[in-house]
Structure 1
Amino acid sequence: MTSTAPVPDPSPTATTPASAASRGARSLARLGVHVVGDGVDVVVLASQASAVDLVLLGEDGERRTGLLRARHGLWHAHVPDVSAGTRYGLRVHGEWNPAAGQLHNPDKLLLDPYARALTGEVSYVPEIFGHHVTDAAATHHGLEVRDDRDSAPFVPHGVVLPASDPVATAERLAARPRVPWSRTVIYEAHVRGFTLLHPDLPPELRGTYAGLAHPAVIEHLRRLGVTTIELLPIHAFATEHAIAARDLPNYWGYSTLSYFAPEPSYATRASRDAGAEAVVAEVRAMVDALHAAGIEVVLDVVYNHTCEGGLDGPLLSWRGLDNTGYYLHDGGTPARYADVTGTGNSLDFRRQRVVQLTLDSLRYWAGEIGVDGFRFDLAVTLGRKAGEFEPDHPFLVALASDPVLADVKLVAEPWDVGPSGWRTGEFAPPMHEWNDRYRDSVRRFWLADAKALAQGGHGTPHDLRDLATRLSGSADMFHRFDRGPTASINYVTAHDGFTLADLVTYDHKHNGANREDNRDGSDNNLSWNHGVEGRVESGSPGSELRPVRRRSIRNVLGTLLVSAGTPMLTAGDEFGRTQQGNNNAYCQDSPISWVDWERTGWQDDLLETARHLLELRHAHPVMRPTRFAYGRPRSNDPFIDLAWFGEDGAAVEGSAWHNPYRRVLQMRRAGGAAANPRSAEGVAAPVRRDLLVVVNGALNDVDVALAPSRTQGWELVWDSVWESPRERHESAVVDGAFPDAGTVVPVEPLSIRFYLSR
């Protein structure tokens, strides 16, 4: 059944055509609702609508203003007597013809896609759907009958914000830390889960933006040594109706409701009570506080899909405004979405207005809020044109050349679930990329292959070539486009998957709390429980595994922080937090996901280890090279830039790389000449220290002849055998502080050592 809504008479409060047209000629490029003069300018995209109303919401009900049609699908007006703080929405008239993709329904109050603040939340009731639904929790089929119930009481409303202050914006941008990629260490965290249980925060600040800006939290980040905090989505989001039907929330926030408004539930109660403007101010204050501490803020952003789900989902914003203009369709009849994100819908980046919306949102967050960068969820979707990914897609070219975004960090999650969706290494500069091959290689060497050996050789371990490639920066993927190793975001854990502690505790996922019968989440964890599934307490059966598990954690952590590339840690991994074996805690706003700050002795030791490793990385450029090595001397340094040796101290060559049972490797990385090669007196400056990494992935002790050095010996600066860096001094007494090249040293099973040249 199809129906067409009549075009309403212009509202008496609307501007006259002449004044609107003259004003609109100057402002049609700026979509949304903005305070201008005695009221607001309004510009909305609804390319196939027959009429669009701006709805102002107050205690006395609705005030509607009919917008005027302009070119290219835009509707606009200047509406007087509207001030900051006013709640508003949109009602769109037009054809209801699902077969043609037309889903206009003026009974549904729609959120302005450009709303910079909002109030309220989505209530999953039948009224929020554009078609007739009797049970909001059920799977919905059949869009033929348009629903005529008003959704306004059950959906969020946009809030008009005052005009921005250009002076304050300029000051905020000037205060950016601008950490170079060569020194960047990323720390992925969830605003609520990271701070909710922090014992040093006042209760009213826990789980909030203000809590993240608290001195106790910032001090932890500074002492740890991270430079950049990457926040899981803080764009306003909604829980999808399928998750809500299980009485669970969308905890991670990968279900965007607004690309401009911050998520209100992360603000303090005081800010929420004060109004939407105060929520935005709290976000700005959080960014300012982190900047004052020298810490960058990167946002995880989800421009690939929205919270509206599939065609049978609720009518909240984009779908009711311009369904075929915003969403990717497969071109068939009846109209169907082309879902390359696995969420029910995908935004169509072939469309100019989708590209504009995304760029406008990024400019707002980088310019007016002052954040330092973005991590793009399922970024391949953003570069799809006619179904295929293109590194020179217009959106990616515009992103790289935009003057506002020129100096922010850009990171891609380089895959989606569409055709040919895995594209790691294929994004052009200035984009950096999550490196899932790095994750799998490190997990495989230290955990999955070690597990196979421990189980009597069940399965053939992989040879050392892949591990060596990842240690040296993944040139096989990131040498394209003349990018250096920092283009690789090296990580072993992230929000999706096991925590670092769970990687060494569980062979299998334990996702029962998600109420999906443990079907969700990856089965390819490459983890190792070391013989007993789950946690074991001191003194209980299996407690002898605890030290071995702790060493495995240190092996993985040390490998991450010595590898060429940009390392990323997951919040709480530095002191061994657990998610109780849940590797897909997307719907767990519970102790499963919250960071537990109460620590036992071994967790304090692990935290000291993480700090020590990051101190080494910051202090010694040789641990964070910015160029790929070539296995030969550099022009300013006669020493070979990168060399590999076996346990006998001889170079690893030829077939030795292909032996899957060879588990010992030495990597020597040249420090290079000092930045200032000669002093004012013309005396040669000292060479930066060289690095030697000794890896023993075998299950037995191995006597290793240390690789050649150009100095008088090697200084052992870290050994994963140590429960704490404090053991360094004890080891120096027992083993000698500076063993010479060629000295044979015993290296314990499943361990990694770092040496620096004297």
Structure 2
Amino acid sequence: MLTSHRGQPSPLGSTLHEQGVNFAVYAPAATQMQLCLFDQSGHSEIAKVTMYRHEGGLWSVFVSPLRAGTLYGYRADGAYAPEKGLLFNQNKLLLDPYCKDFQGEFTWSERHFCHLPVGTLNESDNAVDMPKSSVTDIARYDGQRPNVPWSKTLIYECHVRGATKHCDFVPKSLRGKFLGLSHSNFIAHLASLGVTTVELLPCHAFISEQFLTTKGLKNYWGYNSLSFFVPHKAFLVEGQISEFQQMVRAFHLAGIEVILDVVYNHTAEGGLDGPTLSLKGLNNTGYYRMVGEQAHYINDTGCGNTLNIDDPFTLKLVMDSLRYWVEYMGVDGFRFDLATILARTEHGFNSQHSFLQAIAQDPVLSKVKLIAEPWDVGPGGYQLGGFPSPWREWNDKYRDTVRRFWRGDAGTLSELAKRVHGSHELFEHNQRGPLNSVNFITSHDGFTLADWVSYEQKHNFANGEENRDGHSENISFNCGIEGQTEQAHILALRHQIQKSALITLMMSKGVPMLAAGSEIAHSQQGNNNAYCQDNEINWLSWPQNISERLTQNRRLKKDWDDDEESALCALIAQLQEIRCHYAIFHHPFYIHTQDERFNISWFNKDAHPMSEGDWHDSNNKTLIYMLTDTLRKQNLLVILHAGSDDVEAKLPAIPGVVWQLSLSSVHPTETIEKSQQTQSLSAHSAWVYQSHNEDLKND
């Protein structure tokens, strides 16, 4: 027989004790709160327990005897006044915002809507279509973290499902799951590339929008959160949330960090015409940003609502969620989707926002990796370079400049130099350095690396919006033919430019990020907004030769055949080795003039220092720079030639030193025996040379 009494208002959520479970929830404007308990099937509601009110809008109840696995939900009663933002409806079963697990599938139905239409209270009970919150007893993560410094970080952005769904070197039962991603063979592939950090697209439990399900599509990317604590259930093999911890532990044992792409800017509840699933039914006007006397939702996300981080309990929810994923699930950091929203007040973006201050002083979160996507569609939404230390930021100016350069656009040279130097004009103003720039050429959003050189137009018809969605300007080019082709010279050119772009990325100062599939030339068939494609468009198609080498535990090396996939893998591995070998890539500050140890020198094709005329020559499409470490007597020379014609270039002369070609996008290896030798640069090519002592070379 169940008994209940007044519980504790903290911590929020369900807390398991020896005698039972304490439940606590925040609903300041509710007139009554009920805890609803369900049988183990989740289909039958077996008890309603009235909760006790505390000061500050908190409610609690302690129920015994209950145990881990108990299924429950909340019902909130109060005023229904949409014009004031009050949407209380006791007919709606609400997911606990703090639940760590739930059972059952979410099913779209009219029962989820608070009103049909707006102003007409919907008295349909939605419990049958809602997942039920579950009491958990999960232990803190106790694995050893790699703690990779930013200076040695190589990020691999990937989707849990898409990375292994078609991966024949991962057991079939694990494909598309957390445990498939952390299978030893997949980890071996990442390690062979030199990847130090995986950045996973949303892993918080999410649902597909109704407008997608009616078209037979799904929200594949996952930017539509249902819960900020529960791992996405479809990524679990046996439904146990501990599988996420197992995945993290496997990555950590291999020395690889795990970063989560998190969505705290909006939720799946949408706007006034959206469903009432959790926050909206508890404290709509507090959890979401409202404007005007009619309490209209601010929609800076383009998804119907915007989370109100200015509210102290919303801020608490986000902070508690972040700490949970670090302390209990073991993650090493976060990439914040539309991060500018999290630091916006009614007066605009604020680099001293309470959210940023809370992170900075938090003893747990201040020590993890923090990456901002520094833009959104709201007012003043573009804030690249505006976040404080120790935040890192996605640098789309780097992406766009590198794309323009390799497309052959005129007048890009000086801008490219800024980007490969770490974008000092963006980050140095507030005491930050090149390692605050996360450099990338492609990400999950937009064309893949292979599609970037294969399509000039988006091909998004499969999304069901008549190709109207997605960006129209992708700074892409098709090398002469739109889309797939069998013409060898076109394929060779596309392959070469992909390699040239990868060399640029890895030989730039900053933190490099690879989009999953770049190493195997994955194509999305020209879809640049594949957020709703849970199929072969997004699932990586792994070449057989990679599978064979992984099963033989062979490291990717430059002795691979020069086919498209293996050559890209080998190239990335070699480039990461060079990055780790040269301390100048680890240097946390910008180098504007020769300092005690490091220097960056810029040359024209005659090996003379770049002049003003060279920098402003719009037809100049060759960038040559040398990175020098005087302490270690290291010199690294990088040549990027985006012109459509071959040109001759002299290599800078350094007394007592000869240049050795380490790699290029054209030839495997070649040795330059004499300094100042003229090198023929093929069109659309990139070259990396390392210096060697001439005496040692002669020996």
Q: Is 1:671 the counterpart of 2:671 in the alignment?
A: no
Change (3 A) 1:711 1:356: farther
Q: What is the correspondence of 1:234-313 to structure 2 with a 5 Å cutoff?
A: 234-268=203-237, 271-272=238-239, 279-313=240-274
- Map 1:520-599; keep pairs closer than 5 Å: 520-537=469-486, 542-598=487-543
Corresponding position of 2:590: 628
CA offset digits 1:510-559 (Å, max 9, x no partner)? 0111001001111110001011100112xxxx432111111110111110
SS at match of 2:367: coil
Check the 8 A contact 1:622/1:689 in 2, yes or no.
no
Offset at 1:12? 8.6
> Out of 400, 405, 413, which is 1:464 matched to?
413
> What SS does the corresponding residue of 1:614 show, helix, strand or coil?
helix
Question: Counterpart in 2 of 1:616?
Answer: 578
1:111-510 correspondence runs (5 A):
111-132=95-116, 142-162=117-137, 164-165=138-139, 169=141, 171-172=142-143, 175-268=144-237, 271-272=238-239, 279-330=240-291, 332-447=292-407, 449=409, 461-510=410-459
Q: Give 1:68's match in structure 2, choosing from 44, 52, 57.
A: 52
For 1:145, give the aligned amino acid.
T
Structure 1 residues 667 and 43, CA, compared in 2 at 3 Å: closer, same or farther?
same
1:745 aligned to 2:694? no
2: distance between equivalents of 1:751 and 1:710? 27
Where do residues 30-41 of structure 1 align in structure 2 (5 Å cutoff)?
A: 30-41=11-22
Whether the 8 Å contact between 1:715 and 1:739 is mirrored in structure 2 is no
- Contact 1:235/1:263 (<8 A) preserved: yes
Aligned partners of 2:38 and 2:71 also within 8 Å: yes
**In the alignment, what sits opposite 1:681?**
none
Amino acid at match of 1:340: D
Q: Which deviates further from its counterpart, 474-483 or 707-716?
A: 707-716
1:92 aligns to what SS in structure 2?
Answer: strand
Q: Which amino acid aligns with 1:297?
A: V
Q: Which runs of 5+ in 1 are unaligned?
A: 1-10, 133-141, 273-278, 450-460, 674-686
Cα deviation, residue 380, structure 1: 0.3
Supply the distance in 1 between the matched residues of 2:470 and 2:322 (Cα, whole angstroms). 30
CA pair 570-293 structure 1, distance change in 2 beyond 3 A:
same
- Of 617, 627, 645, 1:700 maps to 645
Q: Does 1:721 align with 2:655?
A: no
381-390 vs 615-624, greater mean Cα deviation: 615-624
Query: How far apart, in 2, do the equivalents of 1:182 and 1:40 lie?
Result: 46
Matched residue, 1:605 = 567
Distance 1:578 1:12 in 2: 57
Runs of 4+ in 1 over 4 A off after TM superposition: none
Residues 357, 700 of structure 1: CA spacing in aligned structure 2 closer, same or farther, 3 A cutoff? same
* Amino acid of the structure 2 residue aligned with 1:43: A
Shift of the 710–336 alpha-carbon distance from structure 1 to 2, 3 Å rule, reads: farther
Contact 1:296–1:371 (Cα < 8 Å) also in 2: yes
- With over 3 angstroms needed to count, the CA separation of the structure-2 counterparts of 1:182 and 1:345, relative to structure 1, is same
How far 1:709 moved relative to its partner? 2.5
CA offsets 1:146-190 (integer angstroms, 9 cap, x no match): 11111011011111001x445xx3x32xx0000000000000011
Moved more, 607-616 or 312-321: 607-616
**Can you give the 5+ residue segments of structure 2 that lack an aligned partner in the other structure?**
546-562, 693-699
Percent identity for Structure 1 against Structure 2: 41
How far, CA to CA, are the matches of 2:577 and 2:69 in structure 1?
47
> Corresponding residue for 1:680?
none
Whole-angstrom distance in 2 between the partners of 1:695 and 1:598: 29
CA drift of 1:668 comes to 1.0
Structure-2 separation of matches of 1:424 and 1:711:
43
Post-superposition offset of 1:746 = 1.4
Is 1:643 the counterpart of 2:601? The answer is yes
Counterpart residue number, 1:678: none
SS at match of 2:488: coil
Assess if the C-alpha contact under 8 Å between 2:510 and 2:585 holds in 1.
Answer: no
SS, match of residue 470 in structure 1: helix
| Aligned partner of 2:4 among 14, 22, 26 | 14
- Matched position secondary structure for 1:524: coil
Secondary structure, in 3 states, of the residue corresponding to 1:369? coil
Is 1:50 the counterpart of 2:31? The answer is yes
Q: CA deviation at 1:697?
A: 1.7
CA shift at 1:387, angstroms? 4.3
CA distance in 2, matches of 1:589, 1:706: 49
* SS of equivalent to 1:583: coil
The CA deviation string for residues 460-496 of structure 1, in whole angstroms up to 9 with x for no partner, is x223111000011000101132111110000010000
CA contact (8 A) 1:391 1:428 kept: yes
Give distance in 2, aligned partners of 1:120 and 1:660. Answer: 61
Distance 1:39 1:197 in 2: 45
Equivalent AA in structure 2 for residue 329 of structure 1: M
Q: Match for 1:533: what amino acid? A: E
What residue identity is the alignment partner of 1:700?
D
> Do 2:220 and 2:533's aligned partners in 1 also have CA atoms closer than 8 Å?
yes
CA distance in 1, matches of 2:654, 2:474: 38
In the aligned structure 2, how far is the partner of 1:165 from the partner of 1:241?
35
SS in 2 for 1:586: helix
1:254-273 Cα deviation digits (max 9, x unpaired): 000000010010011xx12x
Seen in structure 2, the aligned counterparts of structure 1 residues 408 and 182 have a Cα distance that, compared at 3 Å, is: same
Superposition CA RMSD, Å: 1.5
Q: Is the 8 A contact 2:225 2:266 kept in 1?
A: yes
The separation in 1 between residues aligned to 2:543 and 2:623, in whole angstroms, is 37
Moved more, 594-603 or 87-96: 594-603
Residues 387 and 419 in structure 1, CA contact (< 8 A), matched pair in contact too = no
Q: How many residues align?
A: 672
What secondary structure sits across from 1:291 in the alignment? helix
SS in 2 for 1:650: coil
User: In 1, Cα distance between the equivalents of 2:208 and 2:688?
Assistant: 46
Change (3 A) 1:86 1:12: closer
What do residues 46-76 of structure 1 show as CA deviations (whole Å, max 9, x unaligned)?
1111111111111553311111111111111
Calculate the TM-score normalised by the size of structure 2. Answer: 0.94
Q: Is contact 1:186-1:230 (8 Å) kept?
A: yes
Counterpart residue type for residue 500 of structure 2:
N
